[in-house]
A and B are shown apart, each in its own frame.
Chain A
Amino acid sequence: MRFTRPAYIHQRAARADEVADSSMVSARVSGRKGKGGGLVIRFESVSKKYPDGTLAVDRLELVAPSGEITVLVGPSGCGKTTSLRMINRMIEPTSGRIWLDDRDTATVPTHELRRGIGYVIQHAGLFPHRTVLDNITTVPELLGRDKKETRRRALELMERVGLPAHFAKRYPAQLSGGQQQRVGVARALAADPPVMLMDEPFSAVDPVVRAQLQNEFLRLQGELGKTIVFVTHDIDEAIKLGDRVAVLQVGGHLAQLAPPAELLSDPSDAFVAGFVGRDRGYRALGFAEAGRLPVRKEHAVRLGGGLGEARDAAEDGWVLVTDAEDRPQGWLRTDRLPEAALPGPVTAQELNLGGTLAPETATLREALDSALSSPSGRGVIVDGAGRLLGTVTASEVLTRIEQQRVADGRPPARDAGLDAETDVGRDDGEGGEVV
């Protein structure tokens, strides 16, 4: 089975193959930015024992490779924040060393060290008395950089993190939590540090905004190629964002360090397996490209078209409705339409919006979800511009999962019951058209 990234991070997935050769990373980054990628962060038997005797981190050995996102994940109190803060020496290790490339962090003056390391925390921690722009320019200002250039860069960064330019003059309290977090990211990036530390940066916003921030963060990282250490207690976030995920156990033991797909498919011990979660098999599908799914042509009707025509086009009582550009808008149930309504048009209010859309480059998880979430049982596949390509059913996706497992040399997961069901395919219509 070929593990890849979900569609929105394809660009980065390609990069993941390159990072072994760090010169290629800097080459890629310098193509855009004219500077090198991040530094390598190396924990060398690092321990932290607090004065009260708590052993927060125990002989941690960890390498955060240049230009990659290394996620530290684990239950509350397992030492994630402590490990992170030892990198910029907000907490001093009790023993061991932390290296940035070939520099021992203990030998660098703290404020100098910190100005070269971006830091983002949960509630952004913006300075309430400084405007958004002044917040962002804090570190370049400390470094004595040119004022005009710093300002220009700050405005450019605001655009990059998705903040309109007129927010520059606002104060943090005039922003929503999600917007503050964007400013926090821009502020951490302002001096273009090679290393970024992020401590649960997206956990204080609602799930919709969180997903948005995560996606934009990945896009940004695709452009910048920083060395990032990212702390979260949310395994889903870890799997979504991490190039590599370090699972920590209470007491600061590193339980496993692996790429997300491997973590899901091959947890090293019972703790990791338990932490990764019960539905890890399903989530692992998020890393497996569905490949060329047999997409069936779907007879869709246009918004504003006649209801009578819609009823005639429907299969199993449901018809897909698109806009004038062929973009799916929702499903219309036709088997309960009163006769009297038939001369009328298809309107947006009557549509069922339950189904998710899967891109043609979908992962198995996205494809399966689009089928399972669709009220008609037919999952909608769209092209890059969001136009309708066709539909797939859950059983077709399951068949694909089976095929990939076999190709992977693993026994099929299905039992006899499932077997029988997957054969009951929908073989009417022009099915089997491969996109």
Chain B
Amino acid sequence: MPSPVSPHVSPGVAPRVLPPVAPLAQDSSPLGMFGYFNDHRDEVLNWLWYHTWLSAVPVVAGLLIALPLGWVARRYRWTYPPLVTAAGLLYTIPSIALFVAMPDILGTQILDPINVAVALTVYSVALLVRVVADGLGAVPDDVAQAATAMGLTRRQRLLKVELPLAVPVIAAGVRVAVVANVSLVAVAGTIGVPNLGQLFTTGFQLSVGSPYYPPITLGIVLCVLLALALDLLVVGGTWLATPWRRAVSGS
């Protein structure tokens, strides 16, 4: 049985409590993940729960922030290039750097999940500002003219016409953001924040001499399932919010 204390632990994240030494499943092939899951059920489900939460909440928060920013980019045309460019640049910051820098910026503990939530909100905003701006601009020209001609105020136009018509575009962006977040959260797991990412660290630590696949495979499978489930949720919500598109394609 390989020792859980591995010399391969990266030095930057060394001082931390390692997972308790539980009896390991004998099967070290990918199929061993079922046995691994049974042996570590509570811990894994707990990580899954955190992972879900950390993936979803930042997207919601990011959308709430991106909506007004996107509206500004649309309303005052000159702000579109700087806003969209700035948002794009945010996305190029490596996630691990942002996770590590967050405690300094926010004054929080290094392993506080808030760090991850805030960092991922930043990414979601980066992704969604452009989507919202473009979505709000997706109103066909004659529809926009009709709205003006009927005497809708700017606010009524936004709420009654532009926003509803932008839903499909924004929803497509949200789907990307949610799925991207599921994998970014896993990265945060590698620095010790409790979530499915820790399965990869564990698997890595247990792979001394020969690879030990069960936790790694389990992490991948659960991440994929989670991404699928969240994606489905967004798709479902969009479906409910856009009866007009259904009517057209479905009949």
Contact = CB atoms under 8 A, between A and B. Distances in A.
B22 to A, nearest CB: 54
A114 B247 contact: no
Interface string B159-203: 011001100000000000000000000000000000000000000
11 contacts: A113-B151, A115-B151, A127-B146, A127-B161, A128-B244, A129-B242, A130-B244, A142-B152, A170-B247, A173-B244, A184-B146
Contacts of B243: 171
Contacts of B146: 119, 121, 124-127, 184
A71 B13 CA distance: 79
Nearest to A135: B146
Nearest to B251: A174
A148 interface: no
B151 A139 contact: yes
A187 B243 CA distance: 21
Interface string A152-184: 000000000000000000110110000000001
A123 interface: yes
- Chain B interface mostly helix, strand, loop or mixed? helix
A122 interface: yes
Contact of B150 (A115, A128, A131): A115
A112 B143 contact: no
Residue with the greatest number of chain B CB neighbours at <10 A, chosen from A90, A110, A129, A187? A129
A114 B157 CA distance: 14
Contact of A90 (B145, B161, B164, B165): B145
Contact of B142 (A112, A125, A138, A171): A125
A122 B142 contact: yes
A131 B242 CA distance: 12
Using C-beta atoms within 8 Å of the partner chain, give the interface range for chain B.
Answer: 20 to 34
A395 interface: no
Contacts of B147: 125, 127
Given A111-B151, A113-B151, A125 B145 contact: yes
Given A114-B151, A119-B149, A126-B143, 14 more contacts: A90-B145, A117-B149, A121-B146, A122-B142, A125-B145, A125-B146, A130-B244, A139-B150, A142-B151, A171-B243, A171-B247, A171-B248, A184-B146, A187-B150
Contacts of A171: 243-244, 247-248
A150 interface: no
A111 B145 contact: no
A197 B148 CA distance: 13
Contacts of B149: 88, 90, 114, 117, 119, 121, 197
Q: Closest 6 interchain pairs by CB?
A: A125-B146, A114-B151, A119-B149, A125-B142, A115-B151, A111-B151
A90 B148 contact: yes
Interface of B: 140, 142-143, 145-153, 156, 160-161, 164-165, 242-244, 247-248, 251
A121 B142 contact: yes
A134 to B, nearest CB: 10
A114 B150 contact: yes
Contacts of B150: 114-115, 119, 138-139, 142, 187
Contact of A114 (B140, B148, B165, B242): B148
Nearest to A138: B150
B92 to A, nearest CB: 36
Nearest to A111: B151
Nearest to A173: B248
Interface in A86-130: 88, 90, 110-115, 117, 119, 121-130
Contacts of B248: 171, 173-174
Contacts of B148: 90, 114
Contacts of B160: 127
A115 B165 CA distance: 22
A170 B247 CA distance: 8
A360 B150 CA distance: 43
Interface string A17-41: 0000000000000000000000000
Contacts of B244: 128-131, 171, 173
B154 to A, nearest CB: 9
Given A114-B149, A114-B151, A174 B242 contact: no
B247 A112 contact: no
B241 to A, nearest CB: 10
Nearest to A116: B151
A117 B248 CA distance: 31
